[in-house]
Structure 1
Amino acid sequence: MTNAASQTTSSFAALARLLRYARGYRRQILAATTCSIINKLFDIAPEILIGVAIDVVVNQETSFVASLGFDSAQSQILALGALTFFVWAGESLFEYLFQILWRNLAQRLQADLRQDAYEHVQRLDMSFFESRSSGQLVATMNDDVNQLERFLDGGANAMIQVVVTVIAVGAVFFILSPLVALLAFTPIPLIIWGAFYFQRKAGPLYADVREKVGDLSNRLANNLGGIATIKSFTAEEREAERLRNSSEAYVTANRQAIRVSSAFIPVIRMAILAGFLATFTVGGMMALEGTLNVGAYGVLVFLTQRLLWPLTGLATVVDLFERAMASTRRILDLLAEPVKVTDTASDTLPHPVSGAVAFNNVSFHYPNGTAGVDGISLAIPAGHTLALVGTTGSGKSTLIKLLMRFYDPQQGNITIDDIGISTISLKSLRQAIGLVSQDVYLFEGSIRDNIAYGRPEAGLDDIIAAARQAEAWGFIEQLPDGLDTPVGERGVRLSGGQRQRLSLARALLTDPAILILDEATSAVDNETEAAIQRSLRHIRHNRTVIVIAHRLSTIVDADAIAVIDDGQVRELGSHTELLAKNGPYAAQWRVQTGQSECPTPA
């Protein structure tokens, strides 16, 4: 199968997938389609009435209308006038109805598609987000959905009405004159072939256009998110040039698609002219010879344009259709992305949660082949603090991701209070865990909104108590608007230390049985680190705490310290015990405390 034929098949396959997705809208689709059909039947009726009127003027008492019981020519004209009024009124009514139905369907379907896509994306595991850019995802859930909406707004109705026109007008032609009908319909195969030929040519081009839109969206999102870095390195001109290149790539892709689609109308116009001239000349000769009624000739001439000219709209329809199907494929492919971490369990952790955590021979490796963990077994008694230390990429954060079920282990299992985490719902699991990471994400809104993010219903006293626990209340009450102070996008109006304390307060407000600090103090100032350490001394009582840290001075009070290297536990014990072993931990401690020189890299 050629690429062009494959593209055509792919487009109609995408349409079939869309119809399966929209099966809940069958009544609306049927109603909208019915109104489109009736509107088009009313639309072609005036041309027929004009031919009938000509027949009345020429033949008067022997006309077709006279045979219906209207004796005088005047009464026949009046009857045709009344019928014309109802035809135009009916056309207007059903045009209003199909516009309302199609547009409402487009709005409802695009809203549901975007919502379903977003909810599905939220269920995907973290490996999906690590392999996809946020710009591409935003383009799919926004631009692609809007492209489908534009097709449903006008393109679907146009496709239906073209088919109705060909069938209805064709029936009238063959009733009045099979010979003229044959001549008038001769260009139609060429027009249809041309439409699909251009569709096959344009299909891959529009798929490329959609990819370029995603690239452009991703470039904009990355640059706006990293504006401080761009400014600090005076890279404005370089980034503007990179954006210009992405924008020009989009323009070039669109230009190629436009060049192909724009060639359709001039080619098809000549095919239409051939059909019209055939009807005009052959039908005229037949009317002069008396083998064709003059009124019927008028109907044929008027209907020829009504038959053929709308086919030029196939260019626009095919353009809309191909763009929409390229977008539909991306949307439905996103919806078809498999959810690897399933949330089918309905059981919950029994309350109160003690917080005993156990990793039992757990192994996991990332799909791209990067490091993970190999056969790790760790037991953390309820209310104890475990510190994880090791080099970057040793597997520390992987253990946290597995505990949070961002991924599922490929071997072994993890339990909380002796209950396998895969047997409980994700909501129950994650409500028992509070995560404070190095990379703090604050949502645009107020300080109050961000602290209460995990418990939106929390009262003022609880929010303030959590802020005090996190040593955040001191700076909050000094702000002009206090808890109502806007944090800005991603918290840009606050310092790094302030953002980190709000992140800790957000976690503490949910009162989790298990608190995870993933290098939460590695990127903050000494004052913030000291504040968080003071806070931890108070909040770790009757709570299981797991700390990932590079600064060993912050975890000397931990009940147990696990040294992770190359995905395995190399050492395990308290700070004092590990120093006594004089192993990797002791060596790193001496380096950080200045008791020995850092080894020279090989």
Structure 2
Amino acid sequence: MSIFKKLGWYFKAEWKTYLFGLLGLLITALLAIIPPRMIGVIVDSIHNRQLTGRLLTIDLLILLAAAIGQYGSRYMWRTAIWGAAAKLEKTLRQRLFGHYMTMDQTFYQKYRTGDLMARATNDLQAIQRVAGGGILQFADSIITGGTTLIAMMTLVNWRLTLIAVLPFPLLAVMAFYLGQKINIAFRDSQAAFSRLNNKAQESISGVKVIKSLGQEQADITDFNQQVDQTIKVNRRVNRLDALFDPITTLIIGLAYVATIVMGGSLVVSHVITIGNLVSFITYLSMMIWPIFAVGMLFNTMERGNASYDRVMNLINERSQVIDQTDGKSERPAGDLSFNVEKFNYPDDPQTALSKVSFTIPAGKTLGIVGRVGAGKTTIMRLLLRQFEQYQGHIKYGDTDILDYQLDSYLPALGYVPQDSFLFSESVRDNIAFAKPEATDAEIDAVVKEADLADQIDQFENGFDTLVGEEGVSLSGGQRQRLAIARALLIKPELLILDDALSAVDAETESKILTNLHGERAGKTTIIAAHRLSSVMQADEIIVMDHGTVTERGNHDQLMAQDGWYHQMFERQELEMRVRGANGEE
């Protein structure tokens, strides 16, 4: 019964709705007592040759009235109980999705996408069944079972009733024993489903890589193994679940045997009439649902309990990024000062950044270069407040970025990573994602800045062209330029390009950088890149290596230092000349 306690907060909030539903169940149960009694009366009238047309008409009208009353009361409890259950699922679904939207990078590194989707679907449905079917099974087994039992004892014979229900306690013992085992098995089942969901999600997302490397058969084999493992786990759940119905049927069978033997002797000894026995057997058949409901209840509760714990484990996770609700609400502006003494990623002992400091005057451009893993993207992540547990401070203007409200700080930043996510919408909708109310003129302007206008003109449906899931219908360069246009649309105070020009050719790169230099006068820009031509015109360039700054200066100063920057620039220039000599783009 622990799941009912865990959902107590919801039952308290919706107690009027559930009370209305329970009233409907009670009325239904009371009206259900009438037909068996009337059938017994009719049987006795026939047996005693006392049935007349008038009496039969009255009895049939009573049966009709009871049926109509049951129709109304069933509608009453169904709309109340199932409606409240659907509302719970909606509440938890909104709460869980809202929680996903507020969680930080650490959370998404800990949980895989397929697992999060499984908890937002299967687990929530299992919880919904507790608030709907579980309440029905619990209340109806008591109300219907109780009223029917009372009717059997008062309207027929209490001794016969005691004999008939004697096997019923066996059901409680069986339900308690199997319920514990089903809880454990169902947890394993849900975990297996999450793993299978993860596998399917990753395979579909990475299908292009799988096919390009010729690993289709290997991936299918891996998927089939996951399916087989999931089936194996679910078979245990099904075996335990399947034990309920046979045992319940056995208990009912024993009750019928006791009724026929004891009831027959009572009829022979004239203690009860044949009509009473017919009514009793009909009442006993009405006890089948409450008995089944008890078995189903334990199943529903154990599944819901396991799912509720899985969902609440997610909701109880707390983001390490703290939004200062009473923080500064103004849009950040001014110089950007970055001073981080040390930063480690959560649960990673290796230092990601060490003694990194730089200042970007308002309206200037900073270039960040270095080897793969040197710390370039880490700087961007700290600027975007994806992680906040670092030693030092980062100030925008005279205010630490941690003192800004997130809703004020983040909209002032335009971020374009190397692999930008695109939605399965049109080109226009993807560009206008951060500013849905943007006009066509505004969209046209940023498209030209990103040097994407000619490309869009060649699309069959222009701006209305659907890009496919994650922009699958676009080339890498088109996706990057679309993402740049999207970032420029909000006119950010700080534009961050994290290797966002890696998929475009040198000529296109030059056009985009020239456009940005002209259109973003007075705005701050950070460009992290592997291709050094992307940062040549930056006001200052820093070279990163193993999380620290090893060189700094503008292009001419760095070339004069004859360090890593100078050597890499010369190498890339040579590669460009060789490709040009070979007629490559």
Q: Same fold (TM over 0.5)?
A: yes
Is the Cα contact below 8 Å between 1:371 and 1:395 reproduced in 2? no
Is the Cα contact below 8 Å between 1:357 and 1:414 reproduced in 2? yes
Counterpart CA distance in 2 for 1:43 and 1:355 is 77
Which deviates more from structure 2 when the two are superposed, residues 309-318 or residues 162-171?
Answer: 309-318
Q: Deviations over 1:473-500 (max 9, x none)?
A: 1222233322222212211221111111
Q: Which residue does 1:225 correspond to in 2? A: 205
Q: Which residue does 1:377 correspond to in 2? A: 357
Q: Deviations over 1:549-592 (max 9, x none)?
A: 12223212222222333333333333333344444444544554
In structure 2, relative to structure 1, the CA distance for the partners of 1:35 and 1:121 (3 Å cut) is same
The alignment partner of 1:187 has SS state of: coil
Task: Check if 1:354 corresponds to 2:316.
Answer: no
Q: Which residue does 1:142 correspond to in 2? A: 121
Matched AA of 1:412: G
Structure 2 length as normaliser, TM-score? Answer: 0.89
In structure 2, relative to structure 1, the CA distance for the partners of 1:275 and 1:344 (3 Å cut) is farther
Q: Deviations over 1:242-300 (max 9, x none)?
A: 22222222222222211221122222222222222223322332343344566544443
Task: Check if 1:544 corresponds to 2:546.
Answer: no
Matched AA of 1:304: L
**Shift of residue 79 of structure 1?**
4.5
Counterpart CA distance in 2 for 1:348 and 1:458 is 26
Is the Cα contact below 8 Å between 2:495 and 2:525 reproduced in 1? yes
Counterpart CA distance in 2 for 1:126 and 1:22 is 34
Counterpart CA distance in 1 for 2:246 and 2:263 is 26
Q: Aligned residues: percent identity? A: 31
In structure 2, relative to structure 1, the CA distance for the partners of 1:180 and 1:412 (3 Å cut) is farther
Which deviates more from structure 2 when the two are superposed, residues 576-585 or residues 195-204?
Answer: 576-585
The alignment partner of 1:561 has SS state of: strand
Question: Which of the residues 94, 116, 121 maps onto 2:100?
Answer: 121
- The number of equivalent residue pairs is 573
**Shift of residue 349 of structure 1?**
4.8
**Matches for 1:130-209 after TM superposition, within 5 Å:** 130-149=109-128, 154-175=133-154, 177-209=157-189
Is the Cα contact below 8 Å between 1:148 and 1:325 reproduced in 2? yes
Which deviates more from structure 2 when the two are superposed, residues 41-50 or residues 508-517?
Answer: 41-50
Is the Cα contact below 8 Å between 1:355 and 1:382 reproduced in 2? yes
Which deviates more from structure 2 when the two are superposed, residues 392-401 or residues 573-582?
Answer: 573-582
**Shift of residue 467 of structure 1?**
0.8
Is the Cα contact below 8 Å between 1:35 and 1:94 reproduced in 2? yes
Matched AA of 1:454: A
Counterpart CA distance in 2 for 1:539 and 1:397 is 25
In structure 2, relative to structure 1, the CA distance for the partners of 1:592 and 1:23 (3 Å cut) is farther
Q: Which residue does 2:582 correspond to in 1? A: none
Is the Cα contact below 8 Å between 1:209 and 1:250 reproduced in 2? yes
In structure 2, relative to structure 1, the CA distance for the partners of 1:21 and 1:264 (3 Å cut) is same
Question: Which of the residues 192, 210, 215 maps onto 2:195?
Answer: 215
Is the Cα contact below 8 Å between 2:3 and 2:301 reproduced in 1? no
Q: Which residue does 1:439 correspond to in 2? A: 419
Counterpart CA distance in 2 for 1:342 and 1:39 is 53
Unaligned runs of 5+ in 2: 576-585
Which deviates more from structure 2 when the two are superposed, residues 423-432 or residues 354-363?
Answer: 354-363
Q: Deviations over 1:140-170 (max 9, x none)?
A: 2223334444565645423321222232223
Q: Which residue does 2:291 correspond to in 1? A: 311
Unaligned runs of 5+ in 1: 1-11, 62-71, 596-602
Counterpart CA distance in 2 for 1:473 and 1:118 is 36
Counterpart CA distance in 1 for 2:71 and 2:35 is 13
Counterpart CA distance in 2 for 1:374 and 1:196 is 58
Which deviates more from structure 2 when the two are superposed, residues 145-154 or residues 128-137?
Answer: 145-154
**Shift of residue 503 of structure 1?**
0.8
**Matches for 1:504-519 after TM superposition, within 5 Å:** 504-519=484-499
The alignment partner of 1:477 has SS state of: helix
**Shift of residue 56 of structure 1?**
5.8
**Matches for 1:436-585 after TM superposition, within 5 Å:** 436-585=416-565
Counterpart CA distance in 1 for 2:484 and 2:431 is 9
**Shift of residue 432 of structure 1?**
0.5
In structure 2, relative to structure 1, the CA distance for the partners of 1:336 and 1:59 (3 Å cut) is farther
Counterpart CA distance in 1 for 2:171 and 2:40 is 27
**Shift of residue 434 of structure 1?**
0.3
Counterpart CA distance in 1 for 2:234 and 2:406 is 44
Matched AA of 1:537: H
Task: Check if 1:48 corresponds to 2:37.
Answer: yes
Matched AA of 1:101: A
Matched AA of 1:180: L
Q: Which residue does 2:70 correspond to in 1? A: 91
Structure 1 length as normaliser, TM-score? Answer: 0.87
In structure 2, relative to structure 1, the CA distance for the partners of 1:190 and 1:419 (3 Å cut) is same
Is the Cα contact below 8 Å between 2:145 and 2:290 reproduced in 1? no
Which deviates more from structure 2 when the two are superposed, residues 217-226 or residues 342-351?
Answer: 342-351
**Shift of residue 542 of structure 1?**
0.7
Q: Deviations over 1:307-343 (max 9, x none)?
A: 2454134444444444344333333332222232232
Q: Deviations over 1:455-479 (max 9, x none)?
A: 1101111110111111111222233
In structure 2, relative to structure 1, the CA distance for the partners of 1:586 and 1:37 (3 Å cut) is farther
In structure 2, relative to structure 1, the CA distance for the partners of 1:222 and 1:407 (3 Å cut) is same
Is the Cα contact below 8 Å between 1:345 and 1:423 reproduced in 2? no
Is the Cα contact below 8 Å between 1:52 and 1:295 reproduced in 2? yes
Counterpart CA distance in 2 for 1:373 and 1:345 is 28
Counterpart CA distance in 2 for 1:575 and 1:22 is 67
In structure 2, relative to structure 1, the CA distance for the partners of 1:525 and 1:317 (3 Å cut) is farther
Counterpart CA distance in 2 for 1:283 and 1:344 is 75
The alignment partner of 1:286 has SS state of: helix
Q: Which residue does 1:108 correspond to in 2? A: 87
Instruction: Compute the RMSD of aligned alpha carbons.
Output: 2.9
Which deviates more from structure 2 when the two are superposed, residues 289-298 or residues 231-240?
Answer: 289-298
**Shift of residue 504 of structure 1?**
0.7
Is the Cα contact below 8 Å between 1:355 and 1:514 reproduced in 2? no
